[in-house]
């Protein structure tokens, strides 16, 4: 993932943004981890509407600070 490779540079140039992106990625990962089944994840059709919305909201929350990544490291 691009963030992982750019994280040290971002931490140097904009530590607040680095922290915000890391926090949002962790939130998405926690939601995904809650949907684990065996070696994979539940399929979309096994998720409730609330679970789908929660995942969607978390990804949307991540996209806003992530959109600032390129400008911060260039």
Per-residue pLDDT tens for 15-51? 999 999 999 999 999 999 999 999 999 999 999 999 9
Predicted pLDDT at 36: 96
CA-wise closest residue to 55 among 28, 24, 37: 28
- Report pTM: 0.87
Predicted pLDDT at 38: 93
Burial grade of 66 (CB within 10 A; 0-12, 13-18, 19 or more): middle
Query: In terms of C-beta distances under 8 Å and separation of at least 24 residues, what long-range contacts does 47-56 make, across chains too?
Result: 55/28, 55/31
pLDDT at 1 over 70: no
Predicted pLDDT at 4: 86
User: H or E element: which one contains 53?
Assistant: helix 49-66
Predicted pLDDT at 2: 76
Residues 55/31, Cβ–Cβ less than 8 Å? yes
């Amino acid at each position: 993932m691009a963030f992982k490779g750019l994280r040290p540079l971002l931490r140097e140039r904009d530590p607040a943004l680095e922290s915000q992106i890391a926090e949002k990625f962790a939130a998405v990962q926690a939601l995904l981890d809650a949907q684990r089944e065996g070696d994979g994840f539940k399929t979309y059709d096994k998720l409730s509407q609330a679970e789908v919305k929660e995942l969607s909201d978390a990804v949307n929350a991540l996209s806003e600070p992530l959109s600032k990544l390129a400008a911060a490291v260039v």
